Amino acid sequence: GERLGVSQMHVSRLISRLLGRLREGMLATN
């Protein structure tokens, strides 16, 4: 259970980073 919880938090952070990069890229292109 602990591993799953940590993995979920890690994944959420990675997704947030990806979304941030995508936003920056879109803003830059636009």
Tokens of 6: 């940590």
DSSP letter for 1, please. -
Phi, psi of 6, deg, nearest 5 = -60, -40
pLDDT at 15: 97
CB atoms within 10 A of CB 10: 10
pTM of the model as a whole = 0.57
Say yes or no to pLDDT of 1 above 80. no
Residue 5 has pLDDT above 80, yes or no: no
Query: Mean pLDDT score of the chain, rounded to an integer?
Result: 88
The structural domains of the chain, with segments of one domain joined by +, span: 1-30
Q: Token digits for 21?
A: 């990069």
